[in-house]
C-alpha cells in the first residue's frame, strides 16, 4: 500500500481542569490515503472534534497531546507554530461548524480570502483576487463578484458555510477536514452543501466529522466510529451500515429514524379533517403576526411589516399530536408564541376550548395558562441558572396551587422527577450540572406537572444527541399516553416528526403549504416543498440513499418583509408557472385526504 | 473540549455528591484561588475590625487634647503610634474613626445606588418599549449634569448631615448601574427561561425578582466593588472642600485635607490617612478583579 497522506498513531489528548484531568482522546490511530473520503462519527463528548483539533495543532491551552501524527511522513503533533503554519491552511484546511463564528464580521469576504492567499503563496493583489473569485465560483456562490465585497453578516448561513469552504480550498489543500459542516444549517441548505461535498471528492481528500450517520451515508467511503475517546469500529461504509459489529454503532444506527420503514403503530384513526368539529381543543383561524421593521428606502427609512405568520388556520383535537414543520425563519416559533399569547397577534383568532384568547384580559389569560404548557429548544437556557431543579419544577405548583403544603409539593416534584426518569438526588442540583438531555427532561417535568391539556414543544430535541433524542421522544410519547395531553410538536426535523405526530402541517414563509396525515405526507407528499424537504433528509441507508431521486432546492428563503406575490414558494419551486406569481393558491383536498396549497400538485 | 462538557465530566466524576454546587459556590471557589483578591479581603477585614474597635476601646479619644504632645510625630509613648495633630489629638484614634466614617459612607452610598440602579435598570430593560426608552433618556439627562457639582449644591442647600451625604452621593452614582443592569436585562429577557416564566403567567415583579435580577447580579457585584472606592473618594472631595463631616468627627478625606495644610511641618498627618485610603482603594479594586474572574462562566475550566 502507498504511504498514507496522514497517519495518526496512539493519539491521546488530556485536559487539565480544576475538576481534575479529563481524557478526551484515548489512543486513536488511523491512516488517511490520498483521495479518501473518511467520516469520523460520534456523539458529543466522544472526542471526535478534539482528534481533529489535535491533527492541526489547534488544541486549547489546557490540553496535552501525545502520540504521533505524521503528514506526508513529517511529524506534526506538537510541532512549533511556524512549521504548522506552513502546513495549515495550505496543505491541510479546516472547515468549522459555526460559519458565523468562524468568519471575522468586520472584514469583507474578499479581503478574508485574499489574506489567506497572500500569506501562503505570496500572490499579488490581482492574482489573489482572481483566484478568490475562481474559488467562490467553485463553491457555487451566486454572484461571486458581488459577494466578494460583502461582509459576513450580510450573507445567509448556507452562503457563509460556502465561503468557509472556499477559504479552505483556496490553496488547493491535500486534505480538507470539515467539523460538523452542515449541523448549523437548514435541511434544504444541508442537502445543497452535502451535494457540493460529493462533487468536491474529486478534488481533494476529505475528512468529515459529524454526529449524524445520515450525513456520511451518501458521501464517505470509510467510517470511523468514536465513543468515549476511542475508535470502537472502523470499516467501509457498506460494512458499517450493513454489518456493524460493535454494539455502539448499532445503537447509533438504531437511534436514527429510518425513512424507508413505516412507524410501528398506526395513527389513532384520525383523518386530516379531524379537529374540524366544534369540540376542537384549539382552533386557530387566519392568524397573522406581523412585526414592524424599519427598512432603508433611499434616504428615508420606512416601517414595513415583517410577515412572520401570515394567515394560518389549523385545529388541534383532544389527545392529538400535530407537527409543524418548516425551516428556520418560516415563522413556526412565532406561531407557537402567539398561541401561548406571549406575543400579540396582528389578526385572526385563537380559540381555546371555545373561547377567544386574544380577547381575554391579562388576568383571565393567566388563569388559562394552567392548561397550556411549553417546552423550548435550548435545554440549558430554558432553565433559570440560579434555581435548583426542584424549585424549577415546583414553580407551576407555587403559581397555580398556592394552598398546597410544602410536603405535598415536594412529593409532587419527586413524582415528576421519577416520571421523567431523573433521581430524587437531582432535586437540589443546578441546571449547569446536567447534560442537555437531562435538562430537557427537567423542562418536560415542569411542563407536565400541572397535567396540562396542551403541550407546545418548540424544537424540543433539536439540540440533543441522536441517542438522547430518541429517549426524549419516547418520554414525550409515554407521558402523552399517560396523561392524554394534546401536543403541538414544532420541528425542522421531518424524521422526528414522522415518529411523533399524527398530523403534520408544513410551513413555508409564514404560510401553511400542506396539511396531511403523517403517512399520507411521508408516502405521497403533494406539495413541491414537502417533496424537497423529504428528499433532503440524509437517509442512514445506503440503498435508499443511492436510489432516491434527490430534489435539491436552489436558492434560499426570501425575506418575510417582501414575500413573493402569489404563491410564496414560487421563487424556489421547480414547477412554478406564471399562474403562481399571479394568484395565491387556495387549499385543495386531495384523494388521500391531504390538503395542499398549490396550483399544480 | 468546551466548558460544558468539562463540567459534565466533573459532575460524573463525583456522582456520589448529593448537594448541588450552585453558580455562587462555583464563584466562591474561583475567588479563593485569586490570591491578590483574597489578600485584599483579609486586609480590608482587618481595617474594618480596627475601624469598629479602635474608636471604642483605644485609650486616647479622638477629641482628647494631649497638651504634652502638640504636633508630635509617631511615637511609642502614650499609645500615640501615629503621632498627634497640631491640636494634640491622637492620630491613631482619628485615622480609624475616619476609616469608620469613610467605609460606612462608601458602603451605604453604594447600597443606595445599588437599590435604585438595579430596580430602575431592571424595570426599564424588562418593560422595554416606550417606557423603557423614556426611563433611559431620564438617565441620559441626569448623566449630563456634573455629578459632583450636583452633590455640592444639594449639600450646601440642605446643610450637611451625615444621612444627606450618602443619600446625595448614592442618588448620583446609580446612573451607571442602571445602564449596566438594563443592558443585561435586555439580553436575559430574551432567554427561554424568562419566556417559560411568562408562559406560566407569573407576575412581572416575580419575574424581575426571581428570574432577571439574580442573573444580572454578576456584573453588578463587580461594578459595586469599584463603586465603593469611588464613593469614598467623592466623600473625600466633599470633606476636603469642607462640606463633609463636621468637627470633632472626621473622615479620611477630612484628615487628608487637614494634613495637606501641614505637609511642611508634620508630613505624617497627610501620609498616614492617605496611605490607608490608597490601600483600601487598592483592596476594593483587587476584590473587584477577583469577583469578575470568579463570576465569568467562560473561565470555569481553569
Number of domains in chain A: 1
Mutation pick from A12, A15, A19 vs chain B, by most beta carbons of B within 10 Å, is A19
Going through chain B in order, the beta strands assigned E by DSSP cover none
Kindly report which listed range (A223-232, A398-407, A457-466) carries the lowest average pLDDT score.
A457-466
Query: Closest by alpha carbon to A500, among A215, A259, A265?
Result: A265
**Contact assessment for residue A15 and residue A35, using Cβ atoms and an 8 Å cutoff:** no
Q: Does residue A61 sit in helix, strand or coil?
A: coil
For A201-220, what is the mean pLDDT? 85
| Residue B4 dihedral angles phi and psi, to the nearest 5° | -70, -40
pLDDT exceeds 90 at position B242: no
- Residue A276 has a pLDDT of 45
**Is residue A407 domain-resident?**
yes
The more confident residue out of A455 and A77 is: A455
Chain A residues near residue B21 by CB distance under 8 angstroms: 429-430, 433
The helix/strand/coil state of B90 is: strand
Tell me the three state secondary structure of residue B272. helix
Q: Does B192 touch chain A (CB under 8 A)?
A: yes
- Using CA atoms, how far apart are residues A405 and A400, in angstroms rounded to an integer? 13
Over 90: is that where the pLDDT of B245 sits?
Answer: no
How much is the mean pLDDT over chain A?
83
Read off the pLDDT of each residue in B70-79 and give the average, rounded to a whole number: 72
Taking CA–CA distances from A20, the nearest residue in chain B reads B10
| Helix (H) or strand (E) run with residue A178 in it | strand A175-179
CA distance B258 to B270: 8
Any domain includes A202: no
Best of B187, B200, B208 to disrupt the A interface (most A CBs within 10 Å) is B200
Are B285 and B36 in contact by the 8 Å Cβ rule? The answer is no
CB A205 within 8 A of CB A34: yes
Instruction: Give the structural domain span for A497.
Output: 282-508
Q: Band of the pLDDT at B18, cuts 50, 70, 90?
A: very low
Q: At residue A171, does pLDDT exceed 90?
A: no
Our separate counts of H helices and E strands in chain B read 12, 0
Q: How far apart are CA B5 and CA B300, in angstroms?
A: 11
In a domain, A58, yes or no: no
In this complex, the residue of B22, B193, B198 whose CB is nearest that of residue A381 is: B193
CA–CA distance, B54 with B31 (Å, rounded to integer): 30
Whole-number Å distance between alpha carbons of A110 and A129: 7
The number of C-alpha atoms within 13 Å of B228 and in the hemisphere containing its C-beta is 24
- Say how far apart CA A63 and CA A17 lie, in whole Å: 9
Is residue A10 within 8 Å of residue A27, measured between CB atoms?
A: yes
Output the pLDDT for position A354. Answer: 85
Residue B124 pLDDT = 94
Question: What is the maximum span of chain B, computed from C-alpha positions, in angstroms?
Answer: 76
The whole-number pLDDT of residue A145 equals 85
Whether residue A4 contacts residue A32, with contact meaning beta carbons closer than 8 Å, is answered with: yes
Percent of chain A past pLDDT 70, that is, above it, reads 93
> How big is the A-B interface in CB pairs under 8 Å?
112
pLDDT bin (cut points 50, 70, 90) of residue A256 is low
Rounded CA-CA distance A354/A333 in Å is 24
Higher pLDDT, B25 or A448: A448
| pLDDT number for residue A42 | 86
Comparing C-alpha atoms, which of A531, A548, A528, A552 is closest to residue A540? A548
Mean pLDDT confidence for B9-31: 57
A430/B6 Cβ within 8 A: no
Q: Residue A454: what pLDDT?
A: 93
- Res B13: pLDDT: 38
Pairing between strand A454-458 and A486-491? parallel
Q: Would residue A491 count as lying in a domain?
A: yes
C-alpha to C-alpha distances, A541 to A413, A547, A598, nearest whole angstrom: 42, 10, 31
State the pLDDT at residue B3: 41
Q: Which residues contact A512 (CB under 8 A, 6 or more apart)?
A: A312, A313, A314, A505, A506, A597
In a domain, A554, yes or no: no
Query: A362 or A271: which carries more pLDDT confidence?
Result: A362
The answer, yes or no, to whether residue A271 has pLDDT greater than 60, is no
Instruction: Identify which has the larger pLDDT, A341 or A99.
Output: A341
Q: Return phi, psi of residue A536, to 5°.
A: -85, -10
Name which of A221-230, A552-561, B88-97, B249-258 the model is least confident about.
Answer: A552-561
| Nearest-CA distance B20 → chain A (Å) | 4
Q: Looking at the domain assignment, is residue A544 inside a domain?
A: no
The residue-averaged pLDDT of B149-170 equals 76
pLDDT score, position B10: 39
Among B250, B260, B245, which Cα is nearest to B91's?
B250
Count the neighbouring beta carbons within 10 Å of the beta carbon of residue B168: 24
Closest CA to A373 of A486, A484, A472, A490: A486
How far is A535 from A28, CA to CA, in rounded Å?
A: 35
pLDDT in the model for residue A581: 85
Answer yes or no: do A50 and B1 touch at CB < 8 A: yes
| Alpha carbon B262 to chain centroid, angstroms | 30
Q: What is the DSSP letter of A465?
A: -
| DSSP per-residue codes, A572-592 | T-TT--HHHHHSPPPPEE-TT
Cα B222 to Cα B296: distance, rounded to the nearest angstrom:
11
Cα separation, A350 vs B165, in Å, equals 56
Using the Cα atoms of residue B160, residue B164, residue B165 and residue B171 in order, give the sign of their dihedral.
negative
pLDDT higher at A163 or B4:
A163
| Dist. CA A43–CA A435, nearest whole Å | 13
Residue B11 binned pLDDT confidence (cut-offs 50, 70, 90): very low
Q: What's the mean pLDDT in A365-385? A: 88
Give the residue-averaged pLDDT of A94-100: 77
pLDDT bucket at B9, cuts 50 / 70 / 90: very low
Q: Which of B7, B193, B301 has its CB closest to that of A62? A: B301
Residue B48 has pLDDT above 80, yes or no: yes
Tell me if A22 and B1 make a contact (CB, 8 A cut-off): yes
- pLDDT given at position B5: 41
Over residues B246-254, the mean pLDDT reads 79
pLDDT (mean) for B156-161: 75
CA distance A386 to chain B (A): 7
- Read off the pLDDT band of B235 (50, 70, 90): confident
A340·B302 Cβ contact <8 A: no
CATH number, domain of A299, equals 3.40.50.300
Statement: residue A270 has pLDDT above 50: no
- The distance of B244 to chain A (nearest Cα, Å) reads 41
Report pLDDT digits (tens) over A357-373: 888 888 889 888 999 99
Determine, yes or no, domain membership for A417. Answer: yes
Q: What is the pLDDT of residue A284?
A: 92
Rounded-to-integer distance, Cα A46 and Cα A389, Å: 27
Is residue A24 in some structural domain?
no
All three cell numbers of A234: 472502523
pLDDT tier at A1, thresholds 50, 70, 90 = low
Average pLDDT over residues B62-83: 73
Strands (E), A328-410: 347-352, 355-356, 372-375
Residue carrying the nine cell digits 467501509 = A236
Are A93 and A113 contacting, i.e. CB atoms less than 8 angstroms apart? no
* C-alpha cell at position A431: 441546571
Rounded mean pLDDT of A464-490? Answer: 87
- φ/ψ of residue A24, rounded to 5: -90, -40
Across A214-223, A399-408, B90-99, B248-257, the highest mean pLDDT is recorded for A399-408
User: Does the pLDDT at position A266 exceed 50?
Assistant: no
Of the residues B193, B212, B297, the best mutation for testing chain A's interface (the one with the most A CB atoms within 10 Å of its CB) is B193
- pLDDT for residue B4: 41
Nearest to B196 among A22, A374, A435 (CB): A374
For chain B, what percent of residues have pLDDT higher than 70? 88
A18 and B8: CB-CB below 8 Å?
A: no
pLDDT band at A121 (very low <50, low <70, confident <90, very high): confident
Q: What is the mean pLDDT of chain B?
A: 80
Question: Which of A269-283, A339-353, B162-176 has the least mean pLDDT?
Answer: A269-283
- For residue A257, name the pLDDT band (cuts at 50, 70, 90): low
Q: Which of B87, B71, B63, B69 minimizes the C-alpha distance to B267? A: B71
The ipTM value here is 0.75
CB contact under 8 A, B1 and A60: yes
With vertex at residue A29, the alpha carbon angle to CA A25 and CA A32, rounded to the nearest 5 degrees, is 120
Given a cut of 70, whether residue B260 has pLDDT beyond it is yes
Contact A539, A285 (CB under 8 A): no
**The C-alpha cell of A407 is what?**
410536603
Query: In the beta sheet, which residues pair with residue A491?
Result: A325
Given a cut of 50, whether residue B2 has pLDDT beyond it is no
- The Cα angle at residue A45 between residues B302 and A204, in degrees rounded to 5: 110
Amino acid at each position: 500500500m502507498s504511504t498514507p497522506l496522514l497517519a495518526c498513531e496512539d493519539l491521546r489528548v488530556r485536559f487539565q481542569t480544576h475538576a481534575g484531568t479529563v481524557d478526551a482522546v484515548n489512543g486513536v490511530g488511523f491512516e488517511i490515503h490520498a483521495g479518501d473520503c473518511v467520516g469520523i462519527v460520534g456523539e458529543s463528548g466522544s472526542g471526535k472534534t478534539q482528534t481533529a483539533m489535535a491533527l492541526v495543532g489547534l488544541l486549547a491551552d489546557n490540553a496535552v497531546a501525545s502520540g504521533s501524527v505524521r503528514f506526508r511522513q513529517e511529524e506534526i503533533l506538537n510541532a512549533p507554530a511556524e512549521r504548522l503554519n506552513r502546513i495549515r491552511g495550505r496543505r491541510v484546511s479546516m472547515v468549522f461548524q459555526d460559519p458565523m463564528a468562524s468568519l471575522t464580521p468586520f472584514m469583507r469576504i474578499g479581503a478574508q480570502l485574499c489574506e489567506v492567499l497572500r500569506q501562503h503563496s505570496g500572490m499579488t493583489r490581482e492574482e489573489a483576487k482572481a483566484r478568490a473569485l475562481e474559488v467562490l465560483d467553485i463553491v457555487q456562490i451566486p454572484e461571486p463578484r458581488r459577494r466578494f465585497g460583502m461582509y459576513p453578516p450580510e450573507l445567509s448561513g448556507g452562503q457563509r458555510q460556502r465561503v468557509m469552504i472556499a477559504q479552505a480550498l483556496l490553496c488547493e489543500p491535500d486534505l480538507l477536514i470539515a467539523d460538523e459542516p452542515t449541523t448549523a444549517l437548514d435541511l434544504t441548505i444541508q442537502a445543497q452543501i452535502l451535494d457540493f461535498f460529493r462533487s468536491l471528492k474529486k478534488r481533494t481528500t476529505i475528512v468529515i466529522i459529524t454526529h449524524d450517520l445520515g450525513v456520511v451515508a451518501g458521501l464517505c467511503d470509510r467510517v470511523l466510529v468514536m465513543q468515549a475517546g476511542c475508535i470502537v469500529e472502523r470499516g467501509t461504509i457498506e460494512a458499517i451500515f450493513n454489518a456493524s459489529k460493535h454494539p455502539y454503532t448499532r445503537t447509533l444506527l438504531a437511534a436514527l429514524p429510518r425513512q424507508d420503514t413505516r412507524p410501528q403503530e398506526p395513527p389513532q384513526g384520525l383523518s386530516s379533517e379531524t379537529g374540524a368539529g366544534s369540540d376542537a381543543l384549539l382552533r386557530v383561524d387566519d392568524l397573522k403576526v406581523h412585526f414592524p421593521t424599519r427598512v432603508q428606502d433611499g434616504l428615508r427609512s420606512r416601517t414595513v411589516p415583517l410577515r412572520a405568520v401570515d394567515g394560518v388556520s389549523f385545529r388541534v383535537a383532544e389527545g392529538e399530536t400535530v407537527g409543524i414543520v418548516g425551516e428556520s425563519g418560516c415563522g413556526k416559533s412565532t406561531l407557537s408564541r402567539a398561541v401561548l399569547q406571549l406575543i400579540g397577534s396582528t389578526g385572526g383568532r385563537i380559540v381555546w376550548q371555545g373561547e377567544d384568547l386574544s380577547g381575554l384580559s391579562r388576568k383571565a389569560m393567566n388563569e388559562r395558562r394552567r392548561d397550556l404548557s411549553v417546552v423550548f429548544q435550548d435545554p440549558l437556557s430554558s432553565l433559570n441558572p440560579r434555581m435548583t431543579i426542584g424549585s424549577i419544577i415546583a414553580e407551576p405548583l407555587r403559581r397555580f396551587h398556592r394552598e398546597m403544603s410544602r410536603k405535598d409539593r415536594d412529593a409532587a416534584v419527586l413524582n415528576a422527577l421519577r416520571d421523567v426518569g431523573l433521581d430524587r438526588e437531582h432535586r437540589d442540583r443546578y441546571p449547569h450540572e446536567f447534560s442537555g438531555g437531562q435538562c430537557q427532561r427537567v423542562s418536560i417535568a415542569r411542563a407536565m406537572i400541572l397535567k396540562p391539556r396542551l403541550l407546545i414543544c418548540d424544537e424540543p430535541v433539536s439540540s440533543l444527541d441522536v441517542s438522547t433524542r430518541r429517549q426524549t421522544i419516547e418520554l414525550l410519547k409515554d407521558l402523552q399516553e399517560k396523561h392524554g395531553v394534546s401536543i403541538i410538536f414544532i420541528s425542522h426535523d421531518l424524521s422526528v416528526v414522522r415518529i411523533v405526530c399524527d398530523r403534520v402541517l408544513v410551513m413555508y414563509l409564514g404560510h401553511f403549504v400542506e396539511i396531511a396525515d403523517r403517512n399520507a405526507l411521508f408516502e405521497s407528499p403533494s406539495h413541491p416543498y414537502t417533496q424537497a424537504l423529504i428528499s433532503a433528509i440524509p437517509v442512514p441507508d445506503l440503498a435508499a440513499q443511492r436510489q432516491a431521486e434527490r430534489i435539491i432546492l436552489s436558492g434560499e428563503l426570501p425575506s418575510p418583509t417582501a414575500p413573493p406575490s402569489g404563491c410564496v414558494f414560487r421563487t424556489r419551486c421547480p414547477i412554478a408557472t406564471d399562474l403562481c406569481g399571479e394568484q395565491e393558491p387556495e387549499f385543495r383536498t386531495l384523494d388521500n385526504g391531504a390538503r395542499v396549497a398549490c396550483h399544480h400538485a | 473540549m468546551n466548558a460544558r462538557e468539562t463540567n459534565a465530566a466533573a459532575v460524573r466524576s463525583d456522582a456520589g455528591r448529593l448537594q448541588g454546587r450552585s453558580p455562587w459556590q462555583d464563584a466562591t471557589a474561583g475567588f479563593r484561588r485569586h490570591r491578590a483578591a483574597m489578600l485584599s479581603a483579609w486586609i480590608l477585614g482587618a481595617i474594618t475590625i480596627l475601624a469598629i474597635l479602635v474608636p471604642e476601646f483605644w485609650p486616647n479619644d479622638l477629641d482628647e487634647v494631649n497638651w504634652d504632645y502638640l504636633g508630635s510625630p509617631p511615637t511609642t509613648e502614650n499609645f500615640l503610634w501615629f503621632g498627634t495633630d497640631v491640636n494634640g489629638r491622637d492620630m491613631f484614634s482619628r485615622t480609624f474613626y475616619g476609616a469608620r466614617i469613610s467605609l460606612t459612607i462608601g458602603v451605604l452610598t453604594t447600597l443606595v445606588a445599588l437599590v435604585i440602579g438595579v430596580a430602575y435598570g431592571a424595570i426599564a430593560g424588562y418593560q422595554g418599549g416606550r417606557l423603557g426608552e423614556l426611563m433611559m433618556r431620564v438617565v441620559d439627562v441626569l448623566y449630563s449634569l456634573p455629578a459632583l457639582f450636583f452633590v455640592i449644591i444639594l449639600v450646601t442647600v440642605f446643610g450637611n448631615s451625615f444621612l444627606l451625604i450618602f443619600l446625595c452621593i448614592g442618588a448620583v452614582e446609580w446612573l451607571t448601574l442602571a445602564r449596566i443592569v438594563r443592558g443585561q436585562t435586555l439580553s436575559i429577557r430574551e432567554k427561554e427561561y424568562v419566556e417559560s416564566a411568562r408562559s406560566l403567567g407569573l407576575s412581572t415583579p416575580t419575574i424581575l425578582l426571581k428570574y432577571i435580577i439574580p442573573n444580572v447580579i454578576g456584573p453588578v457585584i463587580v461594578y459595586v466593588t469599584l463603586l465603593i472606592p469611588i464613593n469614598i473618594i467623592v466623600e473625600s472631595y466633599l470633606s476636603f472642600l469642607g462640606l463633609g463631616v463636621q468637627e470633632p468627627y472626621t473622615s479620611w478625606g477630612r484628615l487628608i485635607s487637614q494634613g495637606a495644610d501641614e505637609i511642611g511641618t508634620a508630613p505624617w498627618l497627610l501620609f498616614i490617612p492617605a496611605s490607608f485610603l490608597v490601600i483600601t482603594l487598592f483592596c476594593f479594586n483587587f476584590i473587584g478583579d477577583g469577583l469578575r474572574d470568579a463570576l465569568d462562566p467562560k473561565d470555569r475550566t481553569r
